[in-house]
Amino acid sequence: MSKVKIIDKKSEESILNEKNILSKIKHPFIINMYCAFQDYENLYLLLDLLSGGDLRYQFNSLENNFGENEVKFFISCIILSLEYIHSQNIIHRDIKPENLVFDSKGYLRLTDFGVAKILKPENTTISDTSGTPGYMAPEVLFTKNHTFHVDIFAIGVIGYELLIGHRPYRGKDRKEIRKNMKERQIMIETDDNKGNKWSEDCINFINRCLKKNPEMRIGYHFGIKELKVHKWLINMIGINYIIKI
């Protein structure tokens, strides 16, 4: 990474934050860092090589949307990465398809910890609005204190997008997205009038992730464990399942 470009984009804090966080964690479902170094012109992070492209690229390459079983698998991969980083008191805060990359076997792994935060005993919530508006939880968009549950909302957005073909709350900018979110609670219907039908367990899971009130969101009381034991996923987490890409 060019030092000049980092300074021009005022990304120093983000780069250092990612480096510091990656130096503390290691897991099969994240993109791990092995070392960091620099020369006069550049900064370097040595990371896992993932050759499958990101989820956005694969999604845009499809003629149709992903099927329910594929979405279930992708969400399971995300949940395993979040289970680990949340156990390390880290909130990712920017879960989106561009930050989910396929390895050579088709497993999704989480990357880009530039706006992630480590929660400390004296600081159990965060109030700044970092992240990507289309995937931000309401408590972030409306500059309220937030914690781990924002990552769960993003899971719901991704699940909705992969099944329906677009994000639940859309707009040309953050203000328009915030307005749409304020006006209504979007949910997946049993039948989308295009012939697409999904299981009740699938719809229940994604709709509960998308609850605007974090206290009503799945995972509010027991964290990621609550997602893992949901009927839609309980037989999925931990199996050796490979998506060919």
pLDDT in tens, 114-173: 999 998 765 566 767 788 999 999 999 998 888 999 999 999 999 999 999 999 999 999
DSSP secondary structure letter of residue 216: G
Torsion angle defined by CA atoms of residues 200, 202, 208 and 210, in that order, rounded to the nearest 10 degrees: -130
Class of domain 3-47: alpha beta
Measure the CA–CA gap between 133 and 187, rounded to whole angstroms: 18
Which residue ranges make up each domain of the chain?
3-47, 55-228
Same fold, 3-47 and 55-228: no
* Closest C-alpha to 119, from 156, 150, 98: 150
First to last CA, the chain: 29
Are the C-beta atoms of residues 153 and 185 closer than 8 Å to each other?
no
Positions marked active-site: 94
Return the CATH architecture of domain 55-228. Answer: Orthogonal Bundle (1.10)
Of 44-53, 164-173, 219-228, 235-244, least confident by mean pLDDT is 235-244
Q: Is residue 65 scored above 80 in pLDDT?
A: yes
pTM over 0.85: yes
pLDDT in tens, 208-228: 999 999 999 999 999 999 999
* Closest C-alpha to 140, from 127, 122, 125: 127
Q: What are phi and psi of 208, to 5 degrees?
A: -70, -30
The total of other beta-carbon atoms located within 10 Å of residue 239's CB is 8
DSSP secondary structure letter of residue 212: S
| Count, residues in the chain | 245
Q: 122: exposed, middle or buried (C-beta count within 10 Å: 0-12, 13-18, 19+)?
A: exposed
Measure the CA–CA gap between 93 and 130, rounded to whole angstroms: 7
3-state SS, residue 89: coil
CA angle 234-158-188, nearest 5°?
A: 80
Measure the CA–CA gap between 3 and 39, rounded to whole angstroms: 9
